[in-house]
Amino acid sequence: MANPTAAMLVIGDEILSGRTRDANMHYLAGELTKHGIDLKEVRIVSDDHPAIVTAVQALSKAYDTVFTSGGIGPTHDDITADCIAEAFGARIDVRDDAREILKAHYAKTGFDLNAARLRMARIPDGAALIDNPVSMAPGFTIGNVHVMAGVPQVFQAMVASVLPTLTGGAPLLSQTLRVFRGEGDIAETLAQLAEQYSDLSVGCYPFQKDGAFGANIVVRGSEGTRVDAAITQLSRDLKL
């Protein structure tokens, strides 16, 4: 049986401008791989309302699970919650349970729960809160979409909250074979291997370092014996 599928939607002008390097995709991919969920697509969109709505609707229909990051803070350009609500046709407003979480947090820290901070308690109707033990402002889940903060530490904490609730599949295993030959010299052998082991993923990633060049060949699959067999076959075919 095929593993469940997932997509990620990264939201923010700061990512597309190059001002901020996204770290969340790399982290999420690793965690989903361990959980047996295949990350199939990652999209990055600007802080543009129609673009976010369109992307959420498309990804939600195409994949079992969708994760978003960014745009749920207290400032005017944090529009993700409103966009998600529109994508699902849901009403959005300050919700009592989210308000109480923020109220308790700011009472402890000595800051006011002003109108800007209260924006982070606006949750679409029908959504479930995602725990945020780092800064307390919750994310939320509606349908098959999990809406999370863009700050890496907070994003990672929210992923840890959500993953146990998801049905996973077989964790993806991988082995790497490094060869000091050009891709053109091994392409035919790799094509034959990929055809023979069609249930596995065979990838070729060239490198060049200190005057040496070659390729890292990565074989991935959910059955360790099949991955082992493919690597053994490749080593034999390349006479390593």
Contact 209, 217 (CB under 8 A): no
The pLDDT, as a whole number, for residue 74 is 94
Beta bridge partners of 140: 129, 147
Look up residue 144 and give its DSSP letter: T
Left, alpha or beta for 7 (phi > 0: left; psi -120 to 50: alpha)? beta
Q: Which domains does the chain have, with CATH numbers?
A: 5-165 (3.40.980.10), 173-237 (3.30.70.600)
Reported as type and span, the H/E element at residue 214 is: strand 212-221
The pLDDT, as a whole number, for residue 61 is 98
The pLDDT, as a whole number, for residue 78 is 94
Q: What is the pLDDT of residues 8-54, one digit of tens each?
A: 999 999 999 999 999 999 999 999 999 999 999 999 999 999 999 99
Q: What is the pLDDT of residues 48-80, one digit of tens each?
A: 999 999 999 999 999 999 999 999 999 999 999
Tell me what the mean pLDDT of segment 189-217 comes to: 93
Reported as type and span, the H/E element at residue 88 is: none
CA distance 87 to 172: 32
Tell me what the mean pLDDT of segment 183-209 comes to: 94
CA distance 140 to 159: 11
- Any residues with CB less than 8 A from the CB of 229 and at least 6 apart, and which? 197
Q: What is the pLDDT of residues 154-169, one digit of tens each?
A: 999 999 999 999 999 8
